[in-house]
């Protein structure tokens, strides 16, 4: 049995609806048995007989920035999957022009 624990801002209506929509779609395709929402700790726990790494990657891809942290438990306890960042990251064009006097 594989388990994925995600940190999501469940107080945000948009975030809650987004993660619920993504999980409902995946539940039909993957073998997800249980989805648990914990509003107090802002975590969503997903359990079932599935490839945890593959499903975690898919969740990060489909839900985007809604998921702030993902932990995979079960087959590989303590493993973390970094949420994939879409769009511009940091300063794309380099450090910028030098300051006067340098």
Question: What ranges do the domains of the chain cover?
Answer: 10-81
Q: What is the chain's mean pLDDT, rounded?
A: 81
DSSP annotation of 21: H
pTM: 0.70
Residue with more model confidence, 98 or 41: 41
Three-state secondary structure call for residue 31 = coil
Radius of gyration of the chain (CA): 17
Q: What is the average per-residue pLDDT within 26-35?
A: 91
Name the CATH topology of 10-81: Alpha-Beta Plaits (3.30.70)
Q: Could you give the CA distance from residue 30 to residue 8 in angstroms, rounded to a whole number?
A: 21
pLDDT band at residue 91, thresholds of 50, 70 and 90?
very low
Q: What is the pLDDT of residue 99?
A: 57
Helices (H) and strands (E) in the chain — how many of each? 2, 5
Helix ranges, 1-102 (H): 13-29, 52-63
The predicted pLDDT at position 101 comes to 56
């Amino acid at each position: 049995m594989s388990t994925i624990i995600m940190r999501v801002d469940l107080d945000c209506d948009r975030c809650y609806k987004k993660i619920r929509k993504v999980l409902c779609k995946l539940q039909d395709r993957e073998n997800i048995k249980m989805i648990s929402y914990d509003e107090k700790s802002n975590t969503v726990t997903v359990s079932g007989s599935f490839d945890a790494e593959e499903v975690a990657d898919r969740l990060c891809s489909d839900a985007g920035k809604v998921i702030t942290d993902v932990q995979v438990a079960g087959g590989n306890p303590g493993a973390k999957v970094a949420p994939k960042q879409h769009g511009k990251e940091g300063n794309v064009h380099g450090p910028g022009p030098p300051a006067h006097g340098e």
